[in-house]
Structure 1
Amino acid sequence: MTNKTLPLPQQVCFALYSANNAMMRLYRPLLQPLDLTYPQYVVLLALWQQDNISLGQLGAATLFDSGSLTPLVRKLEQKGWLQRQADEKDERSKKVLLTAAGKALEDQVAGVMPALRCQVALTDEQLLTLREQAQQLLIQLQQLETCR
């Protein structure tokens, strides 16, 4: 009997899934002392790059759908790191703004990347290439979605 599928270790999707899980396990102990999950960290990273944006813009930046993003934003708001306000131009739309505590948290989080970097044995060039390839794959996959 011959197999009709590639063995699991040869599947690209499994390699990406496994690498992602391993990265999340590395982030967890670095973010836990800050009372952050990785998805919350992603939301804050986006807001530290561009604050005072709509929920839609935040979703576009983080690639979280509204069903995932709303609870994340709500939790970060409960922690006092951001706030939602009605948009002055369109009260149906909400803007997301960092609070002073949320802005100050960026200094504490600044140590996460160097600590994570020490645990990954790839060279800077290899990491850059990996990131670029992952971004190219994402773009191609997003384009496939629009062709359906």
Structure 2
Amino acid sequence: MSTEYLRLDQQICFALHAASRAFGGVYRAVLRDLGLTYPQYLVMLVLWEHGELSVGRIGEHLRLDSGTLSPLLKRLEAGGLVRRTRGTEDERSVTVRPTAAGLALRERAERVPPLVAGATGLDDADLARLRADLTRLTAALDAAATRPR
């Protein structure tokens, strides 16, 4: 095996990691006016799209566990953007829905995707191809992770 395979610049995982961190910097700047962090923005995207959801369903959409989501949701609730409600039959079950203020924030957030897309330097077709490639990559990696070794 060639040592070329062990070079950092040859690692697809590192290229994705570096791109993710670069996206984080762009989102941090763009989301500052909305008062949201990137993970909070993702939660709001899911709620704007689906309305009221259980914490578990939000986690499924975002690929996050409840231990990661709970502090995010608490901060969003403290900021008046979401309301969490415990189930009456099962107190472990928590649903989350956007408040009126959370829904109103959606209009201001509509400027975020075009700003981020513009920062990539890619046109709409390239972005669509990249998204499709990453979706296929994620599915392949998920399948590989569950295969017996």
Fold match by TM threshold 0.5: yes
**Which segments of 5 or more consecutive residues in structure 1 lack a partner in the other structure?**
none
Aligned CA-pair RMSD: 1.6
Q: Which residue of 2 aligns with 1:10?
A: 10
Aligned length: 147
Summarize the alignment of residues 1-148 of structure 1 with structure 2, pairs less than 5 Å apart. Answer: 3=3, 5-88=5-88, 90-148=90-148
Displacement of 1:64: 1.0
Letter in 1 for 2:49: Q
Instruction: Structure 2 unaligned segments of length 5 or more: list them.
Output: none
Identity %: 39
Structure 2 contact 8–14 (Cα < 8 Å) conserved: yes
Alpha-carbon spacing, 1:82–1:62, altered in 2? closer, same or farther (3 Å): same
CA distance in 2, matches of 1:91, 1:68: 19
Cα-to-partner distance string for 1:27-69 (whole Å, 9 max, x where unaligned): 1111012111100000000010111111100100111111111
User: Mean Cα displacement is larger for which, 85-94 or 97-106?
Assistant: 85-94
The 2-side partners of 1:72 and 1:145 are apart by 27
The 8 Å contact of residues 4 and 10 in structure 2, kept in 1 or not, is answered as: no
With the length of structure 2 as denominator, give the TM-score of the two structures: 0.91
Give the alignment's TM-score, normalised by structure 1: 0.91
